[in-house]
Structure 1
Amino acid sequence: MSIIIEARDIRYRYPGSREAIRGISFHIRPGEKIALVGPNGAGKSTLLQMFNGMIRPDAGTMLFDNEPIRYDTRSLRQLRRRVGYVLQNSDRQIIAPTVYQDVAFGPANLGFDEPAIRRAVALALQYVGLEGFERRPPHQLSGGEKKRVAIAGVLAMDPDVLVFDEPTSGLDPAGSEDLMELLDELHHDGKTVIISTHDVELAYPWADRAILLLDGRILKEDVPDVAFGNTEYVRRAHLSVPTLLELSQELGRRGFVQPDHKPRSVLDMVYILEHIHHEACVHPTPGTISVCNVDEVETSSIAAWVNDHPGLAIGAMGTRAKQCATLEDLTLEFTYGVIDKCILRALSGQDSLILTSSSMAGRVVTRVEAYCWESRTTITVLPWSMMNQAPKEGLTNEEVKEG
């Protein structure tokens, strides 16, 4: 598989200080979700700034798309078009008096003509859910809205790679969940996403790979359950073992047989616990997960259908789906980890509805199929086109996709 970012024995020292990066080598493939994890001072932010040439290593080589990064003005401009960087503090990134002007800054610097700038700004603001904010002064926005403006400014340049320094810093739990959902949406649309964080509970279920940093060196690089599963490395990095992984380890120490893969979500842990206590479990008839692509239906018909199905749990995946729910005054029970939470509802015999967009609709069936195959359970996924019909007995997810 190709490599989009690579570091070869890079080193960097801030003037008058010790080395911040001390001989680091690694690579990142297109389409990966990477978490750089470590305590304050580990070198996370310094390393991130090397990805788009904001910092030049004193020694070693940084490569982008298999070519060494060049640091002349023209080359850096092209690099920063393809590698977008979102600062930890959005106030340091937002510089213009209105949202429109700030988001337009990047495309204008790249030489876009005025119609192209308007299109880029409109698409970026739509993506992050800030349509209608064009004339708003950024200083009047909330912390979460400022973060989205900063992301829109990067998206307007249509980069291949998105780099986020402590993306949930300063956000409340709901804002953090919304932002991580946005990162998942960006990844699903083909972006390579790299974050830095010291929050293991955030990194563990999210990342494809985790890179543990300490004192400017890589302590461990692997899939999250391996990277965070070594207690010695985690403690040396001044971190803690993720709660789900720690619980799994404790069950193993107590002699309970578990699946080969480690739990990455509450759904995974429920499956393990049910497997351990299989004889004591009562399994009701699974509920149905209905899926509505908001890009293909009239929003008013969604509200009418929901009113005819009281007690339904509703989740929304993606910015447009959440906007639709707000427009129709639908109460959302799930806004992050939506598919797994709806599977849990189905396992308890309850029905749910997932609002999603065209680019994310296929994820629902794929995830439900994977769970059903592993757990030997049958859960019906019902698309909007069939939601006004009685579900067919024994309907499979493959039949739903074909329908």
Structure 2
Amino acid sequence: MPLCCTPCTLRLPKLQRYQHGYAALYGKKIGVDRSARICVEDSGSSSLILIRQFSKFFTKHCYSSILKLLNSIKMVEKNLGRPFDASLIKRINLNVPAINTRVRYIIEKANSITECNRVAWLIKAVTCIDLTTLGGDDTFASVERLTKKAVKPIVLPFEWEGSLSTAAVCVYPARVADVVQTLKNLNATGKVNVASVATGFPSGQYPLQTRMDEISLAVSNGATEIDIVINRTLALTHQWEKLYNEIKLMKQACGKAKMKTILATGELFDLKDVYRASIIAAMAGSDFIKTSTGKETVNATLPVGIVMCRAIRDYHNLTGYKVGFKPAGGIKTWGEALQWLVLIKEELSDVWLHNSLFRIGASSVLGDITSEINRSLDEVKEAKVPTLYEHENFDDSDK
């Protein structure tokens, strides 16, 4: 997606080129990663290192257009939902061969990302991860280790101005207090979101009241995000209004906490039902829709991701509200993470490539991503980071 309608040249008279192609840009608490065409927010500093190996770093995008786009990211309006409307889920036409063709295109696009750009994409992926542990053997010690990894997920061979962490740590309700305490001990409260699964995870086959109580427990213990799971029986039997009402009640129970609605698509079987469940979850006020619990036989797949993103796009066109997307389960390699980033960019736009609207639910992919980043940067580990220059020194005029 072009960042401005009319191509223009961004001139940065004091920007210096270095042997290994690192560059820096002041931007009033925002940064732009042009090598991957991904927008990133810098929450803690007035600058952000923009990584790009080799030449041709700045291309035909004007700074003012990028600034406008990033400001729109910061002001994402909360999804307020809308009344139940059965007409939105009655007539659904899905072209499965076209979806499969689109999947092949996305995979080819991800595979074509050059090595010099791959590092930027993978660092973006790190900032979108919900680092997850949902084991029956979780303890304070194991949750503490995971939280420390989330706060400092990777040691880069160059200085990264601002906050580089995963988006959240995701645990069971009983372990939320462990995450909160660890963040407090690290003086990192607010740096990483505290997410909790709830509502009878992973099956959703519990009385509504106990599912609601789980949300209340997690929120009272300090969770800032709740990953609820739907009762798949309601979707499989097409009780859509009842499903809408349940999700809406859960949203109310979340209060100020963000709500991610897990559809468990591997148990819905029909892509049309995946679309319907996505629209229902959005109508009920979900902040995110999420593919899977990670406990199903089939977890996140690209065809399902395309269908869910089309539902998000249709809902946005109808209401103006942006709903986030979270693939989860089975994402184990850096290559798979790249495919999901490309899918979001192609199906929704650059605006969704920010952890306020995109997450990756995973427990093991972080290690593979960091290994690939370090491998790619082996040749530049001794490179110096350039001096940063004030934003006011940049010439943003378009001539």
**What TM-score, normalized to structure 1?**
0.29
Structure with bigger RCO (C-alpha 8 Å, 6+ apart): 2
- Structure with greater strand percent: 1
Q: TM-score under structure 2 normalisation? A: 0.30
Structure showing greater Rg: 1
